[in-house]
A and B are shown apart, each in its own frame.
Chain A
Amino acid sequence: MISIKINGQIKELDVDPSTPLLWVVRENIELTGSKFGCGLGLCGACTMHMDGVPIRSCITPIAAVGDKEITTIEGIGNLNDGLHPVQQAWIDEQVPQCGYCQSGQIMTAIALLKSNASPSDEEIDKAMNGNICRCGTYGRIKKGIKKASELAIINNLKISENG
């Protein structure tokens, strides 16, 4: 049995230790917000946080998680209990198109804003460059990040996993 802490809960799992975190989360824990895109850590659709740091869950074996805490898009905020400022900014700026890559984009954006409350264009480019969007929503993602940054500064909030 492998035990992991995910979105504040402990899960006991009977899985092969080499199984990538992505598949355990999607199939065993049944949280499907994190997406499969490439399987090689090239596109960022599977991005989750491990102790607050963005990781590519499609190439992270479950055995490598240990006692570190995993956060997925479902742990950030939701429509019923309230959206995270970054999620709200994504709606305000009408960012998604097909939406498939957006969980990964949002997780990467939150990690950026946690460490840099007011990033420049270049800093946003650098942080987001590992996340592919095939619909080409990059311009709006950038606006969404700036909007979230403004919202946080106006409301004197510090961006974290919990909003």
Chain B
Amino acid sequence: MGKWKRRAFISAGILAGGAVIVGVAIRPGNRASKVKNIIGNDEDAVFNVWLKISPDNTVTAIIPHAEMGQGVHTSLAMMLAEELDADWSLVKFEEAPAHKQYANYTLIDGFIIGEKKIPSLLQGTLDGAFLALTKKMDFQITGGSASVRFTGVKGMQLAGAATKSMLKEAAAKEWNVNVDEIKTEKSILSHPGTNRSAKYAEFAHAAAKLSMPGKPKLKAITEYTLMGTSPSRFDLPVKVDGSAKYGIDAAPPGLKYATVKASPVFGAKLKTADTSVAEGMQGVQKIVVLENAVAVIADGYWQAKQALAKINIEFESTENDQINQKSIFDTYGSILDEVAEGKNRKKDYKSGDIETAYSNANKLIEAEYKVPYLAHATMEPMNCTIWFREGKCDVWTGSQNPLGFRGAVAETLKINDDQVFIHNQFLGGGFGRRAENDVSIQAAMIAKDVNYPVKLIWSREEDIRQDVYREATISRFKAALDINGMPTAYSNQYLIKHHPAEASQIPYEINNKSVYYADGKTHIPWGNWRSVDHTVHGFTTESFIDELAHASGKDGYEFRQSLLQNNPAYLKVLDLAAEKANWNSELPKNWGRGIALQKSFGTIVAEVAEVEIIDNEIKVHRVVCAADPGFAVHPDGFIAQIESGVIYGLTAALYGEINIENGAVVQSNFHDYQILRMSETPKIETYIINSGTAIGGGGEPGTPPIAPAVANAIFNAIGVRVRELPLKKADLKQKEVIG
């Protein structure tokens, strides 16, 4: 293994040799032989970890990402098929097994280096380092809207192009013709001059023996025939007849069911559990007492749930028992008071001389914004099936990070990684939640002393109360306007920075900026929530910019335009959204439009929301989105993701709120953690700009702009500025007369 790593490391360097691109799939002597036994039959020629060509001329794309609704299996296969000139009707996919060969280091590349250009000389070295790093971290993550923009571009397209080049070379050799005269189309190689043709499969074995080209030529966008179209998604047929298997549907022989109650106060330990009644209940197999939870294993989920309800559980009291939502925000307020005095702060970014700008200001604007904790509430409650026997363990679950789960389960059971077999299933929603390994660890703890398979299913209540949450936080803004109403200084002081690092940045040209943050530690566990820190900063910064527009007597759209004159990519997206939304057209009384703009995960998105205030209720009628993802590989799928991001963000904006009382989460199910329903869903229109820049993500970028777009629309409708989410708490009625 050590030798192989070194070879990969060195060969990557040689291959790169000044090239701008290097991918996992194009190293000579690379993983092909290692993974052959895992994914291929003897007669399949495995070119590399990303694709195989079978004797029947089908091409199988091996895709290292989980399908959680984003259509990744289809769009990644398209990227490979495009460069390979494969016949789309003969293209299939397989999800890669949780094996270290698939450690997804292109993702690390994208996140650590960001979108900066890597100096070509360093390319090989850096990728080698990333490979080592990700192997250590057991990365095979689906998240960060990364599938298409990193795996797709750096893996699938290169692999397709490299393989095509090898096939052509093999055919040229056999036919004794110039390789440049070989044509490829629909998985057929041909040489028109001598009237010969052959299926890819006929040259697959010969091609696999050739060394891979170091710098395969990728197509120009104008040459695409498949990318940029919207073929029917691979994963949909099984999702309409009930045959798609999710983690919760796993059914190994002899299966028993478990459910669990963990300490409502995060981190508290179990004190006592009176299991006497539950032990005698019908169908109960075993009661498992863990450090911070009690679980019942029974013949069925219902029996387990009934028995669990009969166990009298007491948890240890902790210092966190006194913590409630108000005390958290009070503490945060005090921390920000200190930050204002220059204490305990960390610099986020800074430019110019802010103090001078403030002292020269014509007008100063200050505002405080607040957002609550949010749960993920995936439709499929958390679950994991574990079968641990004879020193090995099979795991059935839907995971955004199967390699990470594998390591965590192995560690829990004190066995080697290679004795854990993850059977990754469809994900009934991910949104970041299914990247966390807590449930698989808990399931392993529960099932470790029995020899039959156990399916742990969390109740919805457990799912809401034992989540990892989007941060609750406060942002304090201050800005200076000059005599013309243009901003000359901007500052933001907020709590808690996770990632992406640039989430708090604004695209607007303001000469003097100062952004600081502070840590705010609580016992509430944090987790990635669709678009992560962008959900916080999208709302706060885009609402505050709107405040500045109105303070200077300008329209929110025109104000943004004037600050984006040197930022044409943003301006184009903003203009398109405004144009399609008929920004300047009249609206009835108590109606308003709001606009917001945020770039996240490589895609710029502007949204215009059109709302009506009826009594104290907010009705969102229409949302117009303009998005520049560089290039939309599967436009219909991209649009579906933007629509999804808008609805997910709108649910959070209008209703989303997890409150802490006595150290624990108050909400428990869909009656008090309300989800947007069909009748509340606006008409959503999405317009794509294919600007040709690096491909951006689709899963997350639709979410950040919707909350500020709606809040800005409320202001334009009735003159009320809402500075705290969720919007349902805002008192809109009493001020209606002002508007």
Contacts and interface: CB of A to CB of B under 8 A. Distances in A.
Q: Do A and B come from one complex?
A: yes
Interface in B655-714: 669-671, 675-679, 681, 683-684
Chain B, interface residues (CB within 8 Å), range: 35 or more
Given A36-B457, A124-B678, A135-B69, A101 B240 contact: no
Contact of A135 (B236, B240, B644, B683): B644
Contacts of B238: 79, 99
A129 interface: yes
B242 interface: yes
Summarize A's interface: helix, strand, loop or mixed. Answer: loop
Nearest to B299: A27
A116 to B, nearest CB: 16
Contacts of A36: 248, 301, 381, 457
B266 interface: no
Contact of A134 (B249, B379, B679, B683): B379
Interface stretch (B211-219, B408-416, B421-429): B421-429
Nearest to A127: B678
Given A35-B248, A97-B70, A74 B242 contact: yes
Interface string A22-35: 01000110111111
Q: Which of A28, A98, A126, A132 counts the most chain B CB atoms within 10 A?
A: A98
A32 B460 contact: no
Nearest to A45: B379
Contacts of A138: 647, 676-678, 681
Contacts of A126: 679
Interface residues of A, number: 61
Contacts of A3: none
A33 B241 contact: yes
Given A32-B245, A98-B429, A139-B683, A83 B240 contact: yes
B237 A98 contact: no
Interface in A30-51: 30-40, 42-43, 45
Contact of B675 (A83, A102, A132, A137): A132
A67 interface: no
Contacts of A98: 68-69, 378-380, 426-430
Nearest to A132: B675
A53 B646 CA distance: 32
B648 A136 contact: yes
Contacts of A99: 69, 235-236, 238-239, 244, 426, 428
Given A90-B236, A96-B240, A128 B678 contact: yes
Nearest to B301: A23
Interface string A103-137: 10010000000000000000011101111111111
Contact of A23 (B230, B232, B302, B378): B302
A72 interface: yes
A7 B457 CA distance: 26
Contact of A73 (B242, B640, B679): B242
B640 to A, nearest CB: 6
A48 to B, nearest CB: 11
B242 A136 contact: no
A10 B577 CA distance: 57
A101 B248 CA distance: 13
A51 B592 CA distance: 47
B675 A100 contact: no
Given A74-B241, A94-B232, A129 B679 contact: yes
A32 B247 CA distance: 11
Nearest to B645: A136
A38 B670 contact: yes
Nearest to B380: A100
A16 B303 contact: yes
10 nearest interchain CB pairs? A33-B242, A136-B647, A99-B239, A100-B428, A97-B69, A98-B69, A73-B242, A125-B679, A32-B249, A42-B670
Given A32-B251, A39-B669, A96-B69, 4 more contacts: A73-B242, A94-B230, A98-B426, A98-B428
